[in-house]
Amino acid sequence: MTAYVVRRLLFVVLVLVAVSMLVFGITALLPANVAYLILGPFAPPEQVRALELKLGLTDPIWQQYLRWASGFLTGDLGESTLMNRPIGPLLAEAIGRSLMLTGASFVLIAVIGVGLGIVAALRHGRPLDHGVSVGTYLGIAVPEFFWAIVVIMVFAAWLGWLPASGYESPSAGLWIWAQHLIAPTITLVFGHLAHVSRLTRSSMIEVLQSPYVTAARAKGLPERVIVLHHALRNALLPTITVLALDFGRLMGGIVVVETIFAYPGLGRLIVFSIQNRDLPTLQASILVVAAIYALANLMADLLYARFNPKIRFGRNVG
Amino acid sequence: MLQIDDLTVRYRTPGGVLEALSSISISAEKGRTLALVGESGSGKSTVALAAMGLLPQEAEIASGKIVFDGRDIGAMSFEERRQLRGSRLGLVFQDPFSVLNPSLPIGEQVGEGLVHHRGFSKAQAFERAVELLNEVGIVNPQAVAKAYPHELSGGMRQRALIAGALAPEPDLLILDEPTTALDVTIEAQILDLLEQLRTSRGLTMLFISHNLGVVRRIADEVAVLYAGQIVEHGSTTEVLHHPVHPYSKGLLAAIPRIGLKQHRLAAIPGRLPDLRKPPSGCRFITRCPFATPSSDAPQTLRQVGERKVRCANAEPLRDTPWPRPEQVAEPIDLSARNQKPIVSVTDLTKTFRLGGGWRFDGWRPRKVETLLTPVNAISLDIRQGEVLGLVGESGSGKTTLGRTILRLIDPDAGTIRIGSETISDKPQRELEAMRRTAQIVFQNPDSSLNPRKTIGELLARPIERFGLVPKAEIPARVRALLDLVRLPAHYADRYAHQMSGGEKQRVGIARALATEPKFIVCDEPVSALDVSVQAAIVNLLADLRDRLGVAYLFISHDISVVAHLADRIAVMNRGELVEIGDADTVMNNPQHPYTIKLLSAVPRVDAAMQART
């Protein structure tokens, strides 16, 4: 198992190196470099040239990459060209807020999605099953910004229970903090339930018909034990993989949702840096998103191995 | 202990209501073993599921009742039935490979009945599971209890299943084909184990099987099931040694017997009636050589001597044997067979690398390789028109050898000559001529026939590919091939799923014959078929050999079939050829200890009844 974890971790590192090269390469291909962006379109060429030299933009691209990448490793992410602040703390703050949002959404997606999947599988072919299907499909079929608007209309405008947008830190009071999280979370969860619940449903239906479930029934085990202990354990395997992919999709989802709810997280930082051509911030943000994505997949692989003894290596009794 | 009275079970299917069981009545007395015998579609597994109260949703008990220890199971609540299952009624399933939960340790699965029925704690149940595993003859039960199913062999899994069913000490054990998926040596061990448990615990058993040899070893009483009805029911000796119902006669006649080499096996023609509209009269009428006009009337199960038989003509038929098949073609001149070999294999070796790759030894990466050599320095010859039988247990390398000879798998060392051509060192693209001379028939006709092509297209393809006849003559050639395997010409327009298993295997054989080969590897060609169908296919293969002079490498785990068909027999064990020789010599005077062990494990129908205690 240790060997397996080490190997997976090496893969994650490789992926991150590849992504960093891509991110750096693409932004380096853009016609306007950082010096132009800082000085604006009307700056005299000598001044641009001087800044380029100062920032090292005339060096060969691989030297620039190495400088950027080693800065990253030592925790120096460079400076935001727009806000003239170090990117590190800026990004850390945004990540923290986004993780609150995606973390809460992710847990709810997993719990509600798997739960709905099980219920639909147990009632398979009956009205409840169809209801779950239609509901979750509706969530995924209509874009997130639409649900965001619906949520704002219902909870903020009509009922007045929740603030329409913004963010408050937990230090302002837990309830106030939570209030600002609820609306974007609902939006994200609704848009992502279908994958998890559909997949859990279909693999659960399949597993419930498998010989080992019949064998468990033949042993006279209670239904609850059969469903939760015998069947779910096997039915969850494909769901785990999809959950990891969904975590990646959530990272995309926050771009839209944070923008609509004016929630100052990673998604909004990305949009903001794109709009304002803040290249260093953009590069750093994207690398962070890639890292989160890779780690989510790593987690999925490890969980998969945890639940699927065939993947665990090295033992042979027979 | 268990009494099933007048049980009728119907299934709702897309094609209409199917009556799987019609008025079945059986009873298993305490400490006795009742065997239910039947082929696929007879409804024997439905009996097991009905007795356990585990019928699927689309099934419905139309009439009858199941009484266990004086209580009507049908009248119980769901919860009462659940309490009964596992604790007093145990069920062992057919396929040990799919009935163990892949993600739970063996010990937990063996002991969980104790947790739910006997109030054990998980730790106590695990401890008891280890004891039980030991009791069913598993070495190192501690380690096995912690292992997962994929880490165990088939025999160990079946033992674990039996241990799990026995854990709460049930009074009745229902065994649904418990040894079908296992090798004969393992099968013999499991049967011994069951017999021992029956005597030591006074266990009652309902033993469901299609294998009459196994039934002979284990059962006190036999009920023969055909198309959802019991056709004959009596003591094991009576039914198996002097069958009265025509179906029982046919079933017994169809079994190839070791040491009794007839030229052809008796087969039962035709197929099961459609149980969506079962015939009102005798259900065996269309396949019965003794049918009379009166067979059209409904038949009842009635007492004939000591036993019950469902046949109006039982008395006159009592001593009439099932008709012996006629020989269809003159066997080819035997002396011609002693020519030079058509296939000649020398020192053939194939090694697979399993799970190769880099592992971490602490922090240091290290290359690890697990090697498996299923074909280890094997040399053999097959002469023209000869049948070389290849036997061995699963994993012995039989299939790999067959495929390596045909270069479907590339060998690592050794030479293969087919005809006058050495093919072991040629690249695949130069094997054209060999592909025409040497063909293969696969075990499973369901997966070896393309489901989207008609039988005509399937058979025309190799003819076209090798340009054997002008295009215009292909349909005629396809018809000739179908005729050769005794399928009607209109089958050319059918798809594989429209045919029965035996018919599909005939197509598989016709496909192999399409290129007019001199040599065919038959890889377990009858293992997926019922006994009565198996006999017909074995006969067909024998006829084709006699008519066309084709040589076979006939691979099978069923020694009786091989003994029946083969001229010479080769025995494989763990990749090595341990014995090869004349069929009669190998069967009657085996030399290698492994061959002796294998032969003694084969369950035989005609052996004298074992002394039962």
Residue B364: per-residue pLDDT: 67
Token pair in block for residue B401? 């050898």
- Helix B154-166 vs helix B184-201: crossing angle, to nearest 10: 20
Residue B76: per-residue pLDDT: 87
Residue A313: per-residue pLDDT: 47
Strands B519-523 and B551-555 come out as parallel
**Any chain B CB within 8 A of the CB of A230?**
yes
CATH architecture entry for B340-443+517-601: 3-Layer(aba) Sandwich (3.40)
Between chains, do B84 and A307 touch, taking CB under 8 Å as contact? no
CATH architecture entry for B2-88+170-317: 3-Layer(aba) Sandwich (3.40)
Residue B335: per-residue pLDDT: 53
| Mean pLDDT over each residue of chain B, to the nearest integer | 87
**Phi, psi at B493, each rounded to 5°:** -90, 0
Query: Complex ipTM, two decimals?
Result: 0.76
Q: Check pLDDT > 50 for residue B79.
A: yes
Binned at pLDDT 50, 70 and 90, residue A31 comes out as low
**Nearest residue of chain B to residue A5 (CA atoms):** B360
Q: Check pLDDT > 90 for residue B463.
A: yes
Tell me: the pLDDT tens digits for B332-374? Answer: 555 555 577 899 999 999 988 765 566 666 666 666 667 788 8
Least confident of A16-30, A216-230, B299-313, B430-444: A16-30
Q: Check pLDDT > 70 for residue B96.
A: yes
d(CA B132, CA B127): 9
Residue B456: per-residue pLDDT: 93
Q: Which residues make up the CATH 3.40.50.300 domain(s) of chain B?
A: 2-88+170-317, 340-443+517-601
Q: Check pLDDT > 70 for residue B612.
A: no
**Any chain B CB within 8 A of the CB of A141?**
no
**Nearest residue of chain B to residue A231 (CA atoms):** B101
**Any chain B CB within 8 A of the CB of A224?**
no
Q: Which of B124, B102, B338, B309 has its CA nearest to residue B223?
A: B309
d(CA A65, CA A58): 12
d(CA B135, CA B596): 27
Tell me: the pLDDT tens digits for B110-131? Answer: 999 999 999 999 999 999 999 9
Q: Check pLDDT > 60 for residue B104.
A: yes
| A:B CB pairs within 8 Å | 99
Chain B closest-CA separation from residue A12 CA (Å): 17
Q: Which residues of B touch A229 (CB under 8 A)?
A: 104
Q: Which residues of A touch B152 (CB under 8 A)?
A: 317-318
Binned at pLDDT 50, 70 and 90, residue B317 comes out as confident
> Which residue reads 């341990």 in tokens?
B578
| Mean pLDDT over each residue of chain A, to the nearest integer | 85
Binned at pLDDT 50, 70 and 90, residue A316 comes out as very low
The number of angstroms, rounded, from the C-alpha of B43 to the middle of its chain's C-alpha atoms is 17
Q: Check pLDDT > 80 for residue A309.
A: no
Please report which residue ranges of B550-607 form alpha helices under DSSP H.
559-565, 583-588, 593-601
B305: region left, alpha or beta (phi > 0 left; psi from -120 to 50 alpha):
left
**Phi, psi at A253, each rounded to 5°:** -60, -35
List residues of B whose CB lies inside 8 A of any A CB.
52, 54, 82-87, 90-91, 93, 95, 98-104, 112-113, 116-117, 140, 143-144, 146-148, 150-153, 156, 161, 164-165, 358-360, 363
Q: Check pLDDT > 60 for residue A255.
A: yes
Max avg pLDDT among A21-25, B31-35, B360-364: B31-35
Mutate to test the interface with A, among B58, B100, B103 (most CBs of A within 10 A): B103
Is the model more confident about B319 or about A317?
B319
Between chains, do B91 and A309 touch, taking CB under 8 Å as contact? no
Least confident of A113-122, B27-36, B389-398: B389-398
Please report which residue ranges of chain A form alpha helices under DSSP H.
2-29, 34-39, 45-55, 61-73, 87-122, 127-141, 144-151, 174-208, 211-218, 223-225, 232-260, 266-275, 279-307
Between chains, do B151 and A210 touch, taking CB under 8 Å as contact? no
Binned at pLDDT 50, 70 and 90, residue B408 comes out as very high
d(CA B27, CA B45): 16
Mutate to test the interface with B, among A9, A206, A219 (most CBs of B within 10 A): A219
Residue B73 half-sphere exposure, CB side, CA atoms within 13 Å?
A: 27
Residue B517: per-residue pLDDT: 93
**Any chain B CB within 8 A of the CB of A306?**
no
Q: Check pLDDT > 70 for residue B613.
A: no
Residues A199-219, mean pLDDT to the nearest whole number: 92
Strand arrangement, sheet containing B59-68: B16-28, B2-13, B59-68, B71-72
Between chains, do A225 and B52 touch, taking CB under 8 Å as contact? no
Mutate to test the interface with A, among B95, B101, B159, B354 (most CBs of A within 10 A): B101
Residue B334: per-residue pLDDT: 52
Residue B206: in which H helix or E strand, if any?
strand B204-209
Is the model more confident about B179 or about B562?
B562
d(CA B161, CA B144): 13
Q: Which residues of B touch A210 (CB under 8 A)?
A: 98
Between chains, do A310 and B101 touch, taking CB under 8 Å as contact? no
Residues B267-289, mean pLDDT to the nearest whole number: 85
CA distances to A164, A183, A184 from A155, rounded to whole Å, are 8, 8, 11
Q: Check pLDDT > 50 for residue B610.
A: no
Tell me: the pLDDT tens digits for B242-260? Answer: 999 999 999 888 888 776 6
Between chains, do A211 and B153 touch, taking CB under 8 Å as contact? no
Residues B444-460, mean pLDDT to the nearest whole number: 89
Residue B396: per-residue pLDDT: 86
Q: Check pLDDT > 50 for residue B432.
A: yes
What spatial distance separates the first Cα and last Cα of chain B, rounded to whole Å? 20
Residue B150: per-residue pLDDT: 84
Chain A closest-CA separation from residue B1 CA (Å): 18
Q: Check pLDDT > 60 for residue B44.
A: yes
> Which residue reads 């007795």 in tokens?
B51
Tell me: the pLDDT tens digits for B191-235? Answer: 988 888 888 888 999 999 988 888 999 999 999 999 999 999 999
Residue A112: per-residue pLDDT: 95
